[in-house]
């Protein structure tokens, strides 16, 4: 039994050495050489704090404290390299896995990736062994570009024996978004699925479910199947993305019965619209980076909103209270709100606007500037006291505090009509006459 005890003691000693020894094995003497090689490849000074070797759970090398002097917003927590010592030979080195933890990738670093990825002149076969990499893993990664932030997420890239893509995946840490990529002949098949996921750019739109399928190359991607459910409705469409020179997107959607209230409230906390939206927008954008896409977005669509409320303004009150110069606050209920929208960097242009309700009809044009300032004119057809009157109203203020006020001709006509025929009928007739005069001789404020 003595030999058994000695064997156990020996095994325990070896295990203890395996656990303790890595704390004393450092490769810091190689740091200057690795820094020089990395600096040459990336064309900017690279510094490394420490390099250590560990035997457990499998032999691996840990590199920490990596910084790039000219790309200071780039952050790397640590890099763990796991070689395959058994399969590696003199002529080739096999790396089973490279794991990059806590990568923070800013736009400055994204812009440099094409330069960093350029292949250098081939090394003579007898000078250095070939290196084959089996997989790359990102944990707790984050990508930022302007106001856009994507992550944190994990990513896995698996390569075959020829160092070509076998498959790749991206999963957000909350498991709300998953992206899969697999080779499809000379292209790549992309499959994106999301649940309760918030758009990382522009308005914080939440998708109950999102499915995107398409084909990508190294220069562009075409997504021919986009299906989403959001805010009680659906959206279907197509989109293409090109990144050869900057970033370009083109696409179209068919939106059906999407509740507007939460979406509109993202533009203004106090002025918004409720109701079920139907629209078929066509959109495009060209920008130097993903963070600039929203400011470069151009969108056009016919739209209609069913059974809703326009909050923050009472059109009927503004059209019937002609003595007061400006009217703000309140709400306008409608059966249908329709029109044509053009959205660009300069703001929103609503034309061919029409609102229909039991005792109110509205048509006109309204502009919302990039500073959220309102301008435009609408014609309100109001039924009151048995008389139907059309009242031109100027639109001004902001989307947080919109204001409506009758035109000068309308006010003058209303005052004269009231003086001659009395309030009520006289006011309505006078307002109508004032509006006619303005239309004949040009619209005036």
Measured CA to CA, the distance from residue 278 to residue 438 in angstroms comes to 35
Tens-level pLDDT at each residue, the chain (445 residues): 444 444 444 444 445 445 554 544 556 777 888 888 888 878 889 898 988 888 778 888 898 988 888 887 889 999 998 887 666 555 567 888 999 999 999 988 887 777 776 665 555 545 555 777 889 999 999 999 888 889 999 999 998 888 788 999 999 999 999 999 999 988 999 999 999 999 998 788 999 999 999 999 989 999 999 999 999 999 999 999 998 888 899 999 999 999 998 888 776 666 579 999 999 999 999 988 887 888 889 999 999 999 999 988 899 888 887 655 566 778 999 999 999 999 998 889 999 999 999 889 999 999 999 888 999 999 998 876 666 778 888 899 988 888 888 765 455 444 444 433 344 444 444 444 444 444 544 454 4
Residue-range domain boundaries for the chain: 21-111+129-145+154-160, 315-332+364-445
Distance between CA atoms of 390 and 381, rounded to whole angstroms?
4
CA pair distance 328, 225, nearest whole angstrom: 44
Q: Give the β-pairing of 50-54 and 60-68.
A: antiparallel
Q: What is the sign of the dihedral through the CA atoms of 378, 379, 381 and 387? A: positive
Of 86, 32, 92, 28, residue with least CA distance to 61:
28
pTM greater than 0.85 (yes/no): no
* Cα–Cα distance for residue pair 274/288, rounded to 1 Å: 35
Hey, CA dihedral for 168, 174, 175, 176, is it positive or negative? negative
Q: H helices within 43-96, ranges in order?
A: none
From start to end of 160-281, where are the E strands?
Answer: 165-172, 177-184, 187-198, 206-216, 220-230, 233-242, 247-259, 276-279
């Amino acid at each position: 039994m003595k030999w058994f005890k000695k064997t156990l003691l020996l095994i325990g000693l070896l295990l203890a050495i395996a656990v303790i020894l890595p704390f004393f094995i450092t490769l810091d003497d190689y740091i200057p050489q690795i820094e020089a090689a990395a600096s040459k490849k990336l064309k900017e000074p690279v510094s490394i704090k420490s390099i250590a070797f560990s035997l457990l759970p499998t032999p691996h090398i840990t590199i920490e404290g990596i910084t790039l002097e000219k790309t200071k917003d780039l952050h790397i927590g640590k890099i763990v390299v796991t070689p395959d010592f058994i399969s590696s030979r003199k002529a080739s080195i096999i790396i089973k896995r490279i794991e990059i933890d806590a990568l923070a990738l800013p736009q400055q670093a994204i812009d440099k990736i094409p330069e960093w990825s350029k292949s250098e002149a081939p090394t003579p076969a007898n000078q250095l062994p070939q290196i084959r990499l089996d997989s790359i893993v990102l944990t707790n990664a984050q990508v930022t570009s302007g106001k856009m932030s994507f992550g944190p997420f994990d990513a896995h890239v698996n390569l075959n024996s020829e160092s070509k893509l076998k498959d790749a995946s991206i999963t957000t840490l909350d498991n709300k978004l998953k992206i899969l990529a697999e080779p499809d002949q000379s292209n790549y098949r992309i499959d994106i699925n999301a649940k309760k996921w918030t758009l990382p750019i522009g308005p914080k739109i939440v998708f109950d479910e999102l499915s995107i399928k398409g084909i990508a190359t190294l220069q562009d991607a075409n997504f021919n199947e986009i299906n989403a459910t959001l805010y009680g409705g659906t959206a279907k469409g197509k989109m293409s993305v090109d990144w050869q020179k900057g970033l370009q997107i083109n696409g179209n959607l068919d939106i059906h019965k999407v509740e507007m209230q939460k979406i509109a409230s993202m533009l203004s906390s106090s002025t918004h619209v409720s109701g079920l939206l139907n629209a078929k927008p066509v959109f495009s954008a060209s920008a130097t980076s993903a963070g600039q896409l929203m400011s470069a977005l151009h969108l056009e669509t016919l739209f209609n909103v069913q059974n809703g409320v326009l909050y923050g303004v009472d059109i009927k009150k503004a059209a019937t209270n002609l003595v007061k110069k400006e009217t703000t606050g309140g709400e306008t209920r409608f059966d249908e709100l329709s029109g044509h929208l053009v959205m660009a960097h300069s703001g929103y242009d609503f034309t061919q606007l029409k609102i229909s309700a039991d005792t109110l009809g509205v048509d006109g044009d309204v502009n919302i500037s990039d500073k959220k300032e309102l301008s435009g004119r609408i014609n309100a057809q109001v039924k009151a006291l048995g008389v139907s009157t059309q009242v031109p109203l100027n639109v001004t203020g902001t989307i947080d505090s919109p204001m409506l006020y009758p035109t000068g001709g309308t006010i003058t006509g209303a005052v004269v009509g009231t003086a001659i025929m009395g309030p009520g009928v006289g006011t309505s007739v006078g307002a109508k006459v004032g509006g006619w005069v303005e239309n004949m001789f040009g619209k005036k404020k």
